[in-house]
């Protein structure tokens, strides 16, 4: 039996296989170490950025000084959302519109779960359209509505609100009609009917 084990260990294929396994284990450990270090560094940068948001520095200055691009999409999503909200609070609507538009686009291409993605898209699109109304960006708002693939009552009602704001009552009523035709309660339908224009 010892002779067979010795023969097995002396076989050149066995030796190369064992060396290959050892190299693979070492490579995986090195890769894991660097990935952990990189994740840790990115998390610390995320924490620093969020601390900067809590300061009195204006959103425009923060936008210019901070690098908000992360490999971890979650960090980027949170950072840019918080800065966009800060910009809205400071009434820097152009900056907020820019960030929400960027987030909406990158969210479409992300690998986030579809349910979560839809909720976030609705939220960002609502912010975009409200800011488009604030900034009188009619064409931009229409573009976002037309390119959207959202199929929800909230989106339909929001699109109706957008067109109604610009006194395009016929199109507004079509969007409100889509919302009313959706699977919602009679009470919700009645609230939307109140928005219809004659």
Condensed to tens digits (0 to 9), the pLDDT of residues 82-115 reads 889 999 999 999 999 999 999 999 888 888 888 8
CB 107 within 8 A of CB 117: yes
For residue range 162-187, list pLDDT tens digits in order: 999 999 999 999 999 999 999 999 99
Mean pLDDT of the chain: 83
User: Could you tell me if residue 163 is inside a domain?
Assistant: no
d(CA 156, CA 41): 42
d(CA 175, CA 182): 11
129 is written with which tokens?
């359209």
Radius of gyration of the chain (CA): 27
Looking from the CA of 98 toward its CB, the CA atoms found within 13 Å total 10
Please report the pLDDT score of residue 27 as a whole number: 53
Domain region containing 84:
2-150
The total number of structural domains that make up the chain: 1
pTM as predicted:
0.76
18 pLDDT band, cuts 50/70/90, is: very low
User: Could you tell me if residue 165 is inside a domain?
Assistant: no
């Amino acid at each position: 039996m010892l002779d067979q084990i010795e023969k097995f260990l002396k076989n050149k294929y066995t030796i190369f296989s064992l060396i290959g396994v050892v190299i693979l284990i070492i490579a995986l450990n090195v890769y894991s170490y660097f990935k952990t270090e990189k994740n840790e560094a990115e998390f610390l940068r995320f924490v620093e950025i969020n601390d900067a948001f809590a300061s009195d520095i204006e959103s425009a200055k923060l936008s210019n000084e901070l690098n908000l691009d992360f490999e971890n999409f979650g960090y980027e999503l949170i950072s840019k959302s918080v800065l966009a909200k800060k910009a809205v609070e400071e009434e820097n609507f152009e900056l907020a519109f820019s960030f929400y538009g960027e987030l909406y686009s990158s969210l479409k291409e992300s690998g986030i779960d579809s349910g979560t993605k839809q909720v976030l898209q609705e939220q960002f699109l609502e912010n975009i359209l409200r800011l488009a109304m604030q900034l009188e960006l009619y064409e931009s708002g229409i573009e976002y509505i037309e390119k959207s693939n959202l199929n929800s009552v909230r989106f339909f009602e929001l699109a109706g609100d957008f067109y109604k704001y610009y006194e395009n009552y016929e199109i507004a009523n079509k969007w409100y009609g889509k919302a009313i035709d959706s699977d919602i309660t009679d009470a919700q339908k009645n609230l939307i009917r109140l928005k219809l224009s004659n």
